[in-house]
Structure 1
Amino acid sequence: MDVKAIEGPELMRAMYLAFCLLLVTTLAGCGGSGSGSVESLGLNATNITLDPFSTAPLSARLEFSAPELGTVTVTILGKPSSSCNVPAGIEISHQFAEVSSDFVLPVLGLYPDYANTLIVDFKGASGATKQDQLTILTAPITPVTAGPVTLPISVEILSNNLPADDSGLYVFSQQKSAFDQCGEVRWMYRGEGWQFYEMLPNGNWLGSINNHQISYHFGDFSEFTMLGETVRSYPVGNYLHHEIQKLPWGNYLVATNSSLIDFAENGTPEEDMLVEIQAAPGAINSGAIIKSWDFNAILDPGRAPIPSNERPDDWLHLNSAVYDASDNSIIITAQRQSLMAKIDYATGDLIWILGAHEGWGPAFQDKLLTPVDALGNELEISDQYFWPYGPHAALTLGDGAVALFDNGAWRGLYEDRAPLAENEEQDFSRGIEYLVNEELMTVQIVWQFDWDKRVFTSITGDIDYLVNGNYLLGFVGTSPGPDNPRVMEVDPATNDILFNAVSNRGELEYRVEKINLYTGY
């Protein structure tokens, strides 16, 4: 095989292109073969504000004016890593939909303690293109204990079979730090707040803040942007816990208490109510309760709970709620009653109960879903793992499909099987999808993943259905050992594990999300 030496003009061109590639200050005029020179926008360090709200140190704001209307794409190049499946690192790029000549844009996905390469591409309405390359220097993450979390987080990638172009980031709710498939932290929030609950369609986060905190109950919650700005905050009179969701019309669905929480075990029920809080755009510390659902009146507070925490006042332990726009309903999970239930949003009427039938009185018999197989035949489930125990993370998927995280604590208690101690290895947790037929009042299991019953988290857990068709599972409690908090991404068609990682091994977590940094833009 002949190898041609590079010399003369070709050598000069190779040296020029290498110079363009390695330059880490403002870059302009480095065009590819046949493309001619790419003009510069004239950007420099004055166009970048790193961490503009002093709460998101791996984010920046880009501001500039262009000579004509057009669109902008920003790209943060990956950080090379020999230990990652993607040696070049994970590139994060986004083309903004906005057409303008004056831009104020977020730049997300920076690495800490690194000279990050930002490429800004502009395409004008005339077809003209311009490009600049900038370097953004970030500081190391200062070690600190923030609430229940140690920062910076320590990520262990146990297996990774994701495609190289998967730039999604994983976020544990209390760590409030996002890491990529290489285990590199690419975003974090260091403002006030205990934990996140969910990312909204506009790309903002809903999270509790530390004002008036009693254990894991909080007197206020806020909406935060990815740049770390607090958009608005709302008080919750009887304190919030476990759940905040934004309803399609902009109000908030919040899990709270029917009385002011005190953990005094004085006969006052707790963690037993949902409220709707009216949104007040642009206002701080406002918002009225305009609707409520008291589960002391909807379900049966006299039914024996699973003895997971031996607190009689916490008979329900409402821990998730999701609104279903298809029929104007709300679906919840309740740990201590080991159930998923559906109620009518408008009336609060109970529609169905997905859970063990034992212990329910005559008034609830017609609300209990009957377990069936794929052919519709009723199942004898006394020796099967059909019902959830201590569940979390209600999820509605449409056309009667629902999913939840089944913790498995005290599995089999209601069916009079010998209850398992929470720390025995026979206990296991799983993600599970059911199909509910409301006309026939039946339910069947259509998918589950329990990792061969290898992992158990007695409290907390999460499940999400991702846009790529995979399930995301959060084995995030620490009982019985320090093998969590763990995130897994699973292909439901094969149950192959595409991603498996532990972050801050041994620390308790609540939920986990997989996010696109530029959601909403």
Structure 2
Amino acid sequence: MKQCLPLLVIVSLFFVDCSKNSTGPDIPVLSDILLEENVTVNPSGYAPLTAMINIETQVSVTIRIEVMGKDEHSGIYHAIEGHRTMHEIPVLGLYANSKNIVRLTFYSNNWKEIGSKEYSVETEALSPDMPQVEIDVANLSQMAEGWTFVSYFGFEKGGTANPQRPFIFDVNGDIRWYLDFSNHPVLGSLFYDDGMERLQNGNLYFGDGSSDKIYEINMFGDILNSWDMPGYGFHHEVTEKPDGNFIATVNKLGADTIEDYLIEIDRESNEITTVWDLNVSLQYSRRTFTNNDEDWFHANAVEYSEDDDCIIVSGRTQGVVKLTRENEVVWIMSPHRGWATSGRGEDLNQYLLQPLDSEGNLIKSINVMDGFYNHTDFEWNWYQHAPQLMPNGNIMLFDNGDNRNYRNTGPYSRAVEYEVNESDMTIQQIWQYGKERGGETYSRIVSDVDYDPGSGHVFFSPGAVHNSSTYGKVVEVDYLSGDVLFEATITPPAPLFIITFHRTERMKIYAN
């Protein structure tokens, strides 16, 4: 199998040497301490907009890297931790088809600046499979920090889908990082479904439906670790728990149904420690939203509740449920229509959350509870994705709105926040965004929403909008004011199915 070889470039431009006279007798001269240096573009062969600078210095130094941007908002600044003489400097965030200027600044052990040196790093053009990114709104003074990470669904050409290609774009819409596993011996047919997330250690992780494994990679696309799931096949989501273990949505191999099991995998031993069989805890026979006997639940996301060691699972065609580690139901967030008994013979109606109006009064309309009509203060979640526990304990999710009120009312999608009172078994709608956008941001499948507690902003990301064209959007909304602070439209050259992406994240390109 052909693999793209890294390009070795040894260049240096605009050498800046701080002399002893200007910096003091204890500060070495930069030209005297540089022993060896080289620049390798795309060192892994899978991350075209990266490079590695290897440097040996005569004395221990700390290095700060700067990747020059087009303006003050698109430059990258990152300090490499530790004083040492041998340096591997990862360069992230290069522009495609450009001669990028990368500046390294050297510091002595007492943090005195020794000098700086600039390197010209040339990159090739973007793959033609990559999408067009258009910035619609950018309030640069109020946006949350970081750039936008997109778990892009890739490109379909001639009926053959290429492996999925995550990418990061900056505030100007320039793609500054992406992975291309087309020629990878293991991930050449990558299907990560919901996409990639960042581990607590700063690396990326994802499940792959082609190999049925969980992978940890660095920003060059190098595989650092992998975890098997014997007896199960991966689909949709894997999430890292605070203790480092993984919870994944899976298929049980050989079963008559799909997408209705979850497992926990011990990070150290790779053993499966817990199994949740939704056929036991929930109601296989409920057909309120689907007639599919095989994919009756369609688990598309899982969130871990650390406070009580429970999981919150989104089933596209059933609703959102909270389960204990013992696979016991805590509550069900779903229109009440059609619920009866679980696989273990338990009446599930006792776990249905009762909706409240804005004053905290019970909404007693059966038509509202069953989902036929909306209340002024309350709407159920329809075919939802991406539930997230907020710092206040509430739940935010992407309410896709497919088949809303059983007649596709709208249509529109929403980011919506609910407060669940487990003692009273009630649910109250607290906040929403997206209904006012109508079809412009309506995505009946996939999609994401994230609440960022640091900025107080919500990232509303419909990933499969299909109007006159197919596109996805990333909309950053101020939670308190409802103002749109950033918005981008991502248009693929040819979408896989009608999907542009499943998930997005706002993150720094350098984790630490």
- TM-based fold match above 0.5: yes
Partners of 1:53 and 1:229 within 8 A in 2: yes
CA deviation vs aligned residue, 1:318-376 (integer Å, no higher than 9, x gap): 00001121221111111001x2211123x222111112122222612221222223442
Partners of 1:245 and 1:253 within 8 A in 2: yes
Partners of 1:70 and 1:124 within 8 A in 2: yes
Q: 2:301 maps to which residue?
A: 320
Give yes or no for the alignment of 1:514 onto 2:497. no
Q: 1:117 maps to which residue?
A: 101
Percent of pairs identical after alignment? 27
Pairing partner for 1:58 from 49, 67, 75: 49
Q: 1:306 maps to which residue?
A: 289
Q: 2:340 maps to which residue?
A: 361
Q: 2:447 maps to which residue?
A: 461
Secondary structure of 2:252's match?
coil
Structural mapping, 1:196-207, within 5 Å: 196-207=195-206
Pairing partner for 1:503 from 452, 471, 490: 490
Secondary structure of 1:460's match?
coil
Pairing partner for 1:271 from 253, 259, 272: 259
1:465 shift after superposition: 1.7
Work out the CA distance in 2 between the residues paired with 1:478 and 1:127: 51
In the alignment, residue 132 of structure 2 is paired with which amino acid? S
Work out the CA distance in 2 between the residues paired with 1:45 and 1:60: 17
1:67 shift after superposition: 5.3
Give yes or no for the alignment of 1:429 onto 2:423. no
Q: 2:324 maps to which residue?
A: 344
Report the CA distance shift for 1:398/1:299 in structure 2 as closer, same or farther (over 3 A): farther
Work out the CA distance in 1 between the residues paired with 2:34 and 2:317: 57
Work out the CA distance in 2 between the residues paired with 1:481 and 1:288: 48
Partners of 1:456 and 1:480 within 8 A in 2: no
Q: 1:106 maps to which residue?
A: 90
Secondary structure of 2:405's match?
coil
Partners of 1:115 and 1:135 within 8 A in 2: no
Secondary structure of 1:513's match?
strand
Report the CA distance shift for 1:118/1:451 in structure 2 as closer, same or farther (over 3 A): farther
CA deviation vs aligned residue, 1:136-187 (integer Å, no higher than 9, x gap): 423223535xxxxx23x21111222233996622122134111101011111
Work out the CA distance in 2 between the residues paired with 1:186 and 1:43: 29
In the alignment, residue 166 of structure 2 is paired with which amino acid? K
TM-score, with length taken from structure 1: 0.80
**Stretches of structure 1 lacking an aligned partner (at least 5 in a row):** 1-22, 80-86, 145-149, 262-267, 282-286, 414-418
Work out the CA distance in 1 between the residues paired with 2:247 and 2:40: 35
1:228 shift after superposition: 1.7
Q: 2:280 maps to which residue?
A: 297
Report the CA distance shift for 1:344/1:95 in structure 2 as closer, same or farther (over 3 A): same
Secondary structure of 1:243's match?
strand
Secondary structure of 1:226's match?
coil
Q: 2:361 maps to which residue?
A: 377
Secondary structure of 1:485's match?
strand
Q: 1:388 maps to which residue?
A: 381
370-379 vs 288-297, greater mean Cα deviation: 370-379
Give yes or no for the alignment of 1:131 onto 2:115. yes
Partners of 1:324 and 1:331 within 8 A in 2: yes
Secondary structure of 2:444's match?
coil
Work out the CA distance in 1 between the residues paired with 2:142 and 2:92: 19
Structural mapping, 1:464-479, within 5 Å: 464-466=450-452, 467-479=454-466
Report the CA distance shift for 1:429/1:279 in structure 2 as closer, same or farther (over 3 A): same
In the alignment, residue 306 of structure 2 is paired with which amino acid? A
1:491 shift after superposition: 0.9
In the alignment, residue 403 of structure 1 is paired with which amino acid? M
Partners of 1:390 and 1:407 within 8 A in 2: yes
In the alignment, residue 502 of structure 1 is paired with which amino acid? T
Secondary structure of 2:17's match?
coil
Give yes or no for the alignment of 1:258 onto 2:255. no
Work out the CA distance in 2 between the residues paired with 1:220 and 1:290: 16
Partners of 2:245 and 2:266 within 8 A in 1: yes
Partners of 2:288 and 2:337 within 8 A in 1: no
Partners of 1:169 and 1:181 within 8 A in 2: yes
CA deviation vs aligned residue, 1:290-325 (integer Å, no higher than 9, x gap): 221111111111112413xx5321110100001121
Work out the CA distance in 1 between the residues paired with 2:73 and 2:449: 27
1:99 shift after superposition: 4.6
Secondary structure of 1:315's match?
coil
Work out the CA distance in 1 between the residues paired with 2:90 and 2:305: 32
Give yes or no for the alignment of 1:241 onto 2:229. no
Partners of 1:90 and 1:165 within 8 A in 2: no
Partners of 2:36 and 2:56 within 8 A in 1: no
Give yes or no for the alignment of 1:184 onto 2:174. yes
Alignment length, in residue pairs?
453
Q: 2:391 maps to which residue?
A: 398
Report the CA distance shift for 1:375/1:516 in structure 2 as closer, same or farther (over 3 A): same
Partners of 2:146 and 2:507 within 8 A in 1: yes
Give yes or no for the alignment of 1:444 onto 2:418. no
Work out the CA distance in 1 between the residues paired with 2:461 and 2:403: 19
Partners of 2:316 and 2:385 within 8 A in 1: yes
1:271 shift after superposition: 0.5
1:427 shift after superposition: 1.3
Work out the CA distance in 1 between the residues paired with 2:320 and 2:174: 36
Secondary structure of 1:412's match?
helix
Q: 1:333 maps to which residue?
A: 314
Work out the CA distance in 1 between the residues paired with 2:362 and 2:140: 39
Structural mapping, 1:25-174, within 5 Å: 25-29=13-17, 39-40=29-30, 46-66=37-57, 69=60, 71-79=62-70, 87-88=71-72, 90-141=74-125, 143-144=127-128, 150-151=129-130, 153-163=131-141, 168-174=146-152
In the alignment, residue 162 of structure 1 is paired with which amino acid? L
In the alignment, residue 278 of structure 2 is paired with which amino acid? F
